[in-house]
Every structure is written in structure tokens, then in C-alpha cells.
Amino acid sequence: MTTILIARLFEHIEPINRGDRYEDPLDAVLRERGLGEVTGGGSQLSETGEIECADVEIQVANPDAAIPVIVECLESAGAPAGSELVSESGAVLKVFGGRQSLAVYLDGATLPDEVYAALDFDAVVQQLTNAAGPDSYHGCWQGPAETGLFFFGAGAEGMWARVEPVLRGLPIGQNARVVVRPGKGLTDARTIRLPRQ
């Protein structure tokens, strides 16, 4: 008799990165300890196509023994604050995670053409990652008018304090929308819009 659990991670993370960061390490730990295995995963998308959360499906024989191991493994991999372990019926069994989120949405449509022509996207990502902190960058999303860059760390406000002067100094940083989010929901988030130069 086995039980299906879903680990719901409230972050934008692409399927390959989800496998590398969460699924593969968790599967290895569960199999090594004889507690179960990862059986799948998926993404829930917003209306604009942005990943709102990622699910990891886990099959276990003994939930009481497996849940602490699952939580420890996913938290050590960087699970964001407000992540949930959910039963097959949809009941939230455990809320976990410690990393907070800083999302930087770059204006991809209304800045002067010369800003985009001179843009070195990889260099921008590197500069913002250096400011946000080691292993903070969890991926990007390309929308019709914005490009989202997603950073996770111990404190969203601290990351923003370090990222803000760097972003303000970049031509592509003008008119950027920044969401500082300590938890999973938008109720405790604040949004900043940078000025145009």
C-alpha cells in the first residue's frame, strides 16, 4: 500500500532545473533510505504563461517516516518559503521552506531601441546574481512585454537592498517592475516600479 504526496514549490522553475534541483536529489535520498520515490512533476502556469508553482509527485510507503526526510531534502535544495506538502486529496500536510523571493521584471517592449541593441543579457543576470547572493538565481521567464528574473535567498528585503543600486545603474533596469515577496502569496509582497532615465 503506497501513498502519493505532492510537494508544491511556489517558484518559477523550468522542468529541467526542477529535476536537477529538487526531483533527482529527493529521489536518490528516498530510494537510499527505502522510503519511496519521485514519480513525476509538473508546473502550474498563470494566464500569461509564467510558472506560478512547480509540483513534485512522490510515492511513499510510510508517510510519517517519509515526510520529515522530504522536507529536509527540499529545504536543503532551496525550497522557497510557503512551499507545501499536499496529500492526494489536496489537504496540506506540512508547510515548509525558508528561501524568500525577489522577482525582477525587465521592460522588454517600451525602452529605447539602443537599450535593447546594447543589452548583454547574460552579463545582466550575472551582475544581479552577484548582488542577490550565491546560488540565488533560479531562472527566467520571457513574456510578451517583460522578462522575469527570479532570485531566492534568506531575506527578500536584504536581496532587494543589494540588487537595487545595481539595477538602477543598468540601462535595462529603467521601468523595471520588482516584486519583493517573503512568502508564497502576493498579500505579503510589495511591488516597486523603477523610473525611466
The arithmetic mean of pLDDT across residues 53-69, rounded, is 96
Q: 100-193, what's its fold?
A: Alpha-Beta Plaits (3.30.70)
Residue ranges of the domains in the chain?
3-96, 100-193
Tens digits of per-residue pLDDT, 9-59?
988 888 998 999 999 999 999 999 999 999 999 998 888 888 888 999 999
Question: What pLDDT is attached to residue 189?
Answer: 86
Question: What pLDDT is attached to residue 149?
Answer: 96
Q: Please tell me if the domain spanning 3-96 has the same topology as the one spanning 100-193.
A: yes
Residues 150 and 103: their CA atoms lie apart, in Å, by 5
Architecture in CATH of 3-96: 2-Layer Sandwich (3.30)
Question: What pLDDT is attached to residue 185?
Answer: 59
Q: pLDDT over 70 for what percent of the chain?
A: 98
Length of the chain in terms of residues written: 197
Query: What's the per-residue H, E or C state across the chain?
Result: CCEEEEEEECCCCCHHHHHHHHHHHHHHHHHHCCCEEEEEEEEEECCCCCEEEEEEEEEECCHHHHHHHHHHHHHHCCCECCEEEEECCCCEEEEECCEEEEEEEEECCCCCHHHHHCCCHHHHHHHHHHHHCCCCEEEEEECCCEEEEEEEECCHHHHHHHHHHHHHCCHHHCCCEEEEECCCCCCCCEEEECCCC
The arithmetic mean of pLDDT across residues 165-185, rounded, is 92
Tens digits of per-residue pLDDT, 109-163?
999 999 999 999 999 999 999 999 998 998 899 999 999 999 999 999 999 999 9
Residues with Cβ within 8 Å of 137's Cβ and at least 6 positions away in sequence, in order, are 125, 128, 129, 149, 150, 151
Q: pLDDT over 90 for what percent of the chain?
A: 80
pTM reported for the whole predicted model:
0.85
